Amino acid sequence: MDSAQQTADFAANGHQFFLPHLSIDCVVFGYHDHQLKIFLVRYHGHEAWSLPGGFIKRDETLTDAANRILAEKTQITNVFLRQFHTFGDSPTRLNRIETQQIHNKIYAKVNVAIGEDHWLSERTLSIGYYALVDYHTLIITPEHLIEEYGWCDIDKILPLLFDHHEIIETALLTLRSQIYQLPIGYNLLPAKFTLPEIHALYEAVLGKTFDRRNFRKKLLTLGLVRQLDEQRKIGAHRSPFLYEFDLQNYHKALEQGAPLAY
Amino acid sequence: MDSAQQTADFAANGHQFFLPHLSIDCVVFGYHDHQLKIFLVRYHGHEAWSLPGGFIKRDETLTDAANRILAEKTQITNVFLRQFHTFGDSPTRLNRIETQQIHNKIYAKVNVAIGEDHWLSERTLSIGYYALVDYHTLIITPEHLIEEYGWCDIDKILPLLFDHHEIIETALLTLRSQIYQLPIGYNLLPAKFTLPEIHALYEAVLGKTFDRRNFRKKLLTLGLVRQLDEQRKIGAHRSPFLYEFDLQNYHKALEQGAPLAY
DNA sequence: CTCTTATTGTGTCAAATATACACATTGACA
DNA sequence: TGTCAATGTGTATATTTGACACAATAAGAG
């Protein structure tokens, strides 16, 4: 949907090819500079930001839809992407007028008026997916209606449309609850990382602090990471060693749900 | 929907009051006789069984819909009910012909033919909820189209319609992963229970065995249960003591995710 | 009445793990 | 060469886990 014409066509005829009443929203997590971040977009006509999202094609599996939508909005493919919750309780989502007005402002850019009976004004439940992305790999060709996009620190989230705040909150709780069962560290970190980086990641996701020495001891005792010969230059300080995951031991630990720290 | 007329009306006009393309299926867990069980129904015209399910009203929150559907099919209210996954990948769910045929056989009972373009033939995603129920409290007034219903042992599940097998499998995995974070033991057991009962419940849910003595030690160390003065008669054997949960300590342990056994 | 059988109730000890904690090293820059 | 801020590393203690065996009880059979 990169031209005005295609965008207008979507508004006019989308209901023929997409399921109404149902959308997918993606919470894309990245990690950089000891901060957990979320990728957000800002649509035409709005000051508030949004999660990247879209609709499900009528003949497409749900998993395919989630991957396609993520790829369309962010050009990201082949990443860890997982469903976490379906949202259908928020009053905002039940309010047709509000839904209509939000879409109406967005599609004003392509001179399409979204009326009260337009399919985009209908009540829509949203299936939440979260993605784990290496912060540096992100390349964007924004869609026509997106005026701005970028990473946002998890603890400084800007005002958002619909119930996207609740969706992010739930995604974060899910991330927390799954960090010892799913390869969340692996997918948020680059292939080579330092101990302070992985340490700060676990602290950022879980929102508490761990003793540096005990954390390292646990990683090494379980054999989750391998020290490399390289070091990273970090300016006026001692150069930390780089590490990589030992995938065999890492996946074994995830299967057992072994906590890295308490 | 307890009369033939109401049922026929639903098939004819349901799409005006309910969201199409979207249903809710409930995996109702119970526990009895050291066995984890699931409540299943069998519709007219089918040998295969189904999960109790239904559609979401256009102006109803998702949570309200789940509770209403559970109440309509089982008369169960005010129980632990939680969304766990939305299903939209199964080929069965994408196949309109198959969907049509299944509904056609069911509604034959009320002389309604479900055609290819009927709203019930459309592709439908399903939002899975699981409920935890005290086995003994179940009272049923079955709906018109339900020919049979009852509990089914988790390890002897009968053939099922649609992708209901996958839904149950996912519900069970969810139960397992949440047993140390959510009050699953509390909601599956009666108010008073014996140590062997709670022990066998954790073994049934998690699918492994725990040392009886260490399990008891952990329960008591954490102060999760209180021994009562009563005992239960169990026939030709020593009478076990009855216990009840210490809710304060139990909830504290759940917040921390403390495992009861390994 | 007593013997048998199946089930429940209970304690101890060794091994593993978690937790608390402090000092040395490095790299840049003043 | 001294300072500063960050990284790298080890030890001792407390706690938890995991393995394990015997006594008590209830009912029914003989």
Going residue by residue through chain A (262 aa), what tens digit of pLDDT does each one get?
Answer: 678 899 999 999 999 999 999 999 999 999 999 999 999 999 999 999 999 999 999 999 999 999 999 999 988 999 999 999 999 999 988 899 999 999 999 999 999 999 999 999 999 999 999 999 999 886 777 789 999 999 999 999 999 999 999 999 999 999 999 999 999 999 999 999 999 999 999 999 999 999 999 999 999 999 999 999 999 998 899 999 999 999 999 999 999 988 987 6
The Cα–Cα gap between B86 and A61 comes to 12
- The H-or-E segment that residue B100 falls in is helix B96-107
* Sheet arrangement for strand A225-231: A193-194, A241-245, A225-231
Statement to judge: residues A173 and A201 lie in one domain? no
Contacts of B127 in chain A (CB under 8 A): 86, 88
Banded pLDDT at B5 (limits 50, 70, 90): very high
pLDDT at A1: 60
pLDDT at B93: 87
Banded pLDDT at B3 (limits 50, 70, 90): confident
pLDDT at B169: 98
Tens of pLDDT, residues B126-147: 999 999 999 987 677 778 999 9
Q: Which nucleotides of D are covered by protein (CB under 7 A)?
A: 4-11, 16-21, 24-28
In whole angstroms, D10 C1' to A8 CA is: 66
Instruction: Tell which of A89, A122, A254 to mutate to test the B interface (max B CBs under 10 Å).
Output: A89
A261 domain residue, yes or no: no
- Determine the distance in angstroms separating the CA of B13 from the nearest CA of chain A, rounded to an integer: 18
Statement to judge: residues B136 and B10 lie in one domain? yes
- The H-or-E segment that residue B177 falls in is helix B164-178
Q: CB under 8 Å, gap of 24 or more: what pairs does A205-208 form?
A: A205/A36, A205/A175, A205/A176, A205/A179, A206/A176, A206/A179, A207/A176
In whole angstroms, C7 C1' to B241 CA is: 13
Statement to judge: residues A44 and A143 lie in one domain? yes
Statement to judge: residues A44 and A155 lie in one domain? yes
Tens of pLDDT, residues B181-228: 999 999 999 999 999 999 999 999 999 999 999 999 999 999 999 999
Q: Is the CB of B239 under 7 A from strand D?
A: yes
Residues with CB under 7 A from strand C: A 211-214, 217-218, 221, 231, 233, 235-239, 259, 261-262; B 194-196, 212-214, 216-217, 234, 236-241
In whole angstroms, C20 C1' to A216 CA is: 15
Three-state SS letters, chain A = CCCHHHHHHHHHHHHHHEEEEEEEEEEEEEEECCEEEEEEEEECCCCCEECCEEEEECCCCHHHHHHHHHHHHHCCCCCEEEEEEEECCCHHHHCHHHHHHHHHHHHHHHCCCCCCCCHHHCCCEEEEEEEECCHHHCCCCCCCCEEEEEEEEHHHCCCECCCHHHHHHHHHHHHHHHCCCCCHHHHHCCCCEEHHHHHHHHHHHHCCCCCHHHHHHHHHHCCCEEEEEEECCCCCCCCCEEEEECHHHHHHHHHHCCCCCC
Q: Is the CB of A136 under 7 A from strand D?
A: no
Query: Could you give the number of structural domains in chain A?
Result: 2
Distances (CA, A) of B141 to A37, B9, B72, B145, B238: 51, 20, 9, 12, 39
Query: Which protein residue lies nearest to nucleotide D28, measured between its Cα and the C1' atom?
Result: B236
> Which residue of chain A is at minimal alpha-carbon distance from B89?
A61
pLDDT at A230: 96
Statement to judge: residues A144 and A206 lie in one domain? no
pLDDT at B262: 66
The CATH number of whichever domain residue B83 belongs to comes to 3.90.79.10
Contacts of A87 in chain B (CB under 8 A): 62
Residue closest to A174 by CA, chosen among A103, A82, A251, A236 = A82
Residue closest to B166 by CA, chosen among B248, B51, B52, B55 = B51
Domain-ending residue, one of B157, B178, B199? B178
Residue closest to B24 by CA, chosen among B49, B62, B53, B64 = B53
Statement to judge: residues B223 and B121 lie in one domain? no
Tokens representing B227 are: 């021994």
Three-point CA angle A98, A103, A106, nearest 5°: 130
Provide the mean pLDDT of chain B.
94
Residues of B with CB under 8 A from a CB of A: 19-22, 56, 58-59, 61-63, 65, 83, 85-89, 94, 123, 125, 127, 177, 181
Distances (CA, A) of A246 to A193, A220, A240, A253, B159: 13, 10, 19, 11, 42
Is the pLDDT confidence value at B59 over 70?
A: yes
B84 domain residue, yes or no: yes
Domain-ending residue, one of B136, B158, B178? B178
The CATH number of whichever domain residue A209 belongs to comes to 1.10.10.10
Statement to judge: residues A132 and A233 lie in one domain? no
B262 domain residue, yes or no: no
Statement to judge: residues B169 and B195 lie in one domain? no
Tokens representing A208 are: 């508490």
pLDDT at A63: 98
- The H-or-E segment that residue B9 falls in is helix B4-17
pLDDT at A3: 84
Statement to judge: residues A130 and A153 lie in one domain? yes
pLDDT at A262: 65
Answer whether B88 sits within 8 Å of A20, measured CB to CB.
no
Full residue range of the structural domain in which residue B45 is found: 4-178
Statement to judge: residues A45 and A126 lie in one domain? yes
A83 domain residue, yes or no: yes
* pLDDT, mean of residues B15-31: 97
pLDDT at A143: 85
The Cα–Cα gap between B253 and A187 comes to 30
- Determine the distance in angstroms separating the CA of A125 from the nearest CA of chain B, rounded to an integer: 9
Domain-ending residue, one of B126, B143, B178? B178
Is the pLDDT confidence value at B48 over 80?
A: yes
Answer whether A94 sits within 8 Å of B61, measured CB to CB.
yes
The Cα–Cα gap between A2 and A11 comes to 14
A100 domain residue, yes or no: yes
